[in-house]
Structure 1
């Protein structure tokens, strides 16, 4: 307000002063205590107003105005300012931001209002004393339409990170509503990563389709209406986004040299010419079973990647806020979980082997440190008082590196450690999603069944 402050004070009757319709702060709250104070001591700080024909509009002091009216105050001292619409909005935003009275969404809408009135991102950032990215993020959040905002009563309380993530899917209200409902829960990051993965898969198949149309020597055919009982084509298999980049997929297709390929949803189907003398029913059944196995494998790969991303994102965001004593205990538990591995080289390789990707990628995700700096940072911090948080990051990265999608369905030395690993994470405060809980329950049941079968064999 200082840049716009007037040195002249005028007494104005409160009946002639109105709240500003563009005030960024939508809810001024309860002013009962403030009204009592004004009634007893008078208004100590003048309002700032602008003329509005024969009336006035408040620029700074909406709560004081409401309290004065509630207290029955007649005339109040006011600074009368001469501001254009953009200056009025700038002044109100600055006033509220300085007093930390705006929600993120209120501030976002106000910033967008300033931009709509002709202000530049740089000028708004300068006026608020913020960065350009700060202003741009809030402008993105302001783009979320009212239909999405109405999905929850506390939408205005969401964080800027959640709002920017929701705004990213402008024009896709179903996705925005789904994210809005999950905001503030452990499912938010999981749902966001699934949406991002769906987009990646869609982009992948579009790129593959474009390459196939121009690929010499590859027979691209329309997807058969009955893929497992087509009279001409016999199903050989399919390729998912996990098969590699679009260019790598084209090379793999050339290596396998199928008679034809087709685009099926987000997959590439491979075909051979059907042998007319073969048993069609047997072949169709085999193809259907293979497709089902492919789909299950793909779904498992998707789940394993999403759950690993969620675990490591949580560790990155929360480890530094956990008490040192609990981190030391966690270090011991993670260490015990790993050193009992029957392969003595499994979890205990020297840090130098990280050049062979023995946990380096996972450590980078959890710690936020680039691989080339990891060894130097670790060797320094493991001799410092904060060694515990770094030890937890190392040990968690090793476990994450060992867990493969098959470990969720196949009983192995690694899969037997997954339930223990989750228990350690939950004791730190991690909350599994419903999907993780279901997979975990199935894995524990499978381990129990395998142990029971082994005991029966030993007793015979």
Structure 2
């Protein structure tokens, strides 16, 4: 057994395993024959992987992983290793050398760190940046001024020039993180749909998988009754939910990244009535999903702007903003709220939003806060704290309700706009709808009070 293996084998869903971004072998080649062999004989040699958050990265077995995905294999046996970044690179070089010679360029990339006396991360980041094609570099005149971190993020989408150009245009602005997160979210949604499609395609799935009807809402055979999308849960949870609903058929819609549910049109009146109720519920679910997407996107945009602009605001304006944000939150919906010590930020009260706005790692946030709140630049930190708490309180439902939180959203936007923030068109539209709903609710409440007083 290699020194880079363990005795423990774990069965892992292929949708949770990613190729390692630092794999020295850039081209895994054609895996058609290997996929056919694995489909016939099974995977004879487990993969070697390392944890990456809630997912995994391949150390040994990139071709086997690609072949398993090509063959529709849902789960594969894996050795789960605990290796540092340099150990991971060394293990991948060793594995490739043992199986098949690396190209001269790949071997040079793996060893250049030692020759330059630089860290492996330093060299790998610059190799990735150097791989960006001329077409993408030409998309802006000051491409060479983009930071190395943003260049690495752009290089990650090699072979997708449109996405690389989109990221390049956002580089150096407060919208870069938002754009990158949106692209990453699109990728996760695509992977989710592909995983669900693979599970539905299993011979024993017991679910009727059909092509999308050409006329989805007027097809003579199928009636639309609902859909599943990534927020439904893991691919496995989505399959279980589909089984519970027991539709006559399902189809995969790759454009919307959803799974559509269908019933036959020759059902009884009761079944049609149930289908209508299901369709209405699906529509409500779709609206909620769209609202969740909007709420996440608008929060990302606001916090990215705060991160990129607060340190450039004059001190007297920050002091004024601190007072306004404090007054906006003086009646705290959380009975404990601000009375809790800052140490509670480890698991609640806005630590994630604060680290996004400030750019400070969560483990350092508390110490930095305690230091700066006693320093001359306290105002910018106070604004970051108070803005983070408001961002933490806002939920998707607050955009359509008249709760204590929703009533603060218009005031929060006014404060941000006074700092220089410019809402996008969709934010303005949602904000106008929210203000109208609050005005209507206040009007109804006043009418009810007048009737009670008569």
Q: TM-score, normalised by structure 1?
A: 0.60
Unaligned runs of 5+ in 2: 1-103
Retained in 2: the 8 A contact 1:232–1:273?
yes
**Could you say what secondary structure the match of 1:411 adopts?**
coil
The match for 1:145 is 133
The match for 2:34 is none
Partner residue of 2:161 out of 165, 168, 173 = 173
Q: Distance in 2 between matches of 1:268 and 1:131?
A: 45
CA drift of 1:453 comes to 6.0
Retained in 1: the 8 A contact 2:225–2:275?
no
Q: How does 1:28-67 map to 2 (within 5 A)?
A: none
The match for 1:23 is none
Q: Distance in 2 between matches of 1:211 and 1:367?
A: 41
Q: How does 1:92-107 map to 2 (within 5 A)?
A: none
Shifted more, 244-253 versus 224-233: the winner is 224-233
Aligned pair count?
344
Q: Does 1:264 align with 2:253?
A: yes
Q: Distance in 1 between matches of 2:339 and 2:234?
A: 31
CA drift of 1:448 comes to 4.6
Q: Distance in 1 between matches of 2:114 and 2:433?
A: 52
Q: TM-score, normalised by structure 2?
A: 0.61
The match for 1:418 is 409
Q: How does 1:4-83 map to 2 (within 5 A)?
A: none
The match for 1:333 is 324
Retained in 1: the 8 A contact 2:225–2:276?
no
Q: Distance in 2 between matches of 1:355 and 1:151?
A: 42
Retained in 1: the 8 A contact 2:325–2:386?
yes
Retained in 2: the 8 A contact 1:362–1:401?
yes
Unaligned runs of 5+ in 1: 1-114
The match for 2:80 is none
Q: Distance in 2 between matches of 1:178 and 1:311?
A: 19
The match for 2:269 is 278
The match for 2:356 is 365
The match for 1:396 is 387
Retained in 1: the 8 A contact 2:325–2:383?
yes
Retained in 1: the 8 A contact 2:228–2:260?
yes
Change (3 A) 1:373 1:216: farther
**Could you say what secondary structure the match of 1:339 adopts?**
coil
Q: Does 1:246 align with 2:235?
A: yes
Change (3 A) 1:365 1:178: closer
Deviations 1:137-166 (A, max 9, x none): 333333333333333444444443443333
Q: Distance in 1 between matches of 2:363 and 2:175?
A: 32
Change (3 A) 1:381 1:252: farther
Q: Does 1:350 align with 2:340?
A: yes
Change (3 A) 1:301 1:344: closer
Retained in 2: the 8 A contact 1:166–1:179?
yes
CA drift of 1:348 comes to 3.7
Cα RMSD for the two superposed structures: 4.1
Change (3 A) 1:180 1:446: farther
Q: Distance in 2 between matches of 1:118 and 1:208?
A: 38
The match for 1:208 is 196
Q: Distance in 2 between matches of 1:415 and 1:286?
A: 29
**Could you say what secondary structure the match of 2:335 adopts?**
coil
**Could you say what secondary structure the match of 1:268 adopts?**
strand
CA drift of 1:198 comes to 1.0
Q: Distance in 2 between matches of 1:346 and 1:261?
A: 47
Deviations 1:30-56 (A, max 9, x none): xxxxxxxxxxxxxxxxxxxxxxxxxxx
Q: Radius of gyration: which is bigger?
A: 1
Deviations 1:4-44 (A, max 9, x none): xxxxxxxxxxxxxxxxxxxxxxxxxxxxxxxxxxxxxxxxx
The match for 1:7 is none
Retained in 2: the 8 A contact 1:125–1:134?
no
CA drift of 1:169 comes to 2.0
Q: Distance in 2 between matches of 1:280 and 1:446?
A: 36
Deviations 1:116-138 (A, max 9, x none): 799657657975x8654344333
Retained in 2: the 8 A contact 1:186–1:432?
no
Retained in 2: the 8 A contact 1:152–1:181?
yes
Q: Distance in 2 between matches of 1:121 and 1:416?
A: 56
Q: Distance in 1 between matches of 2:289 and 2:391?
A: 19
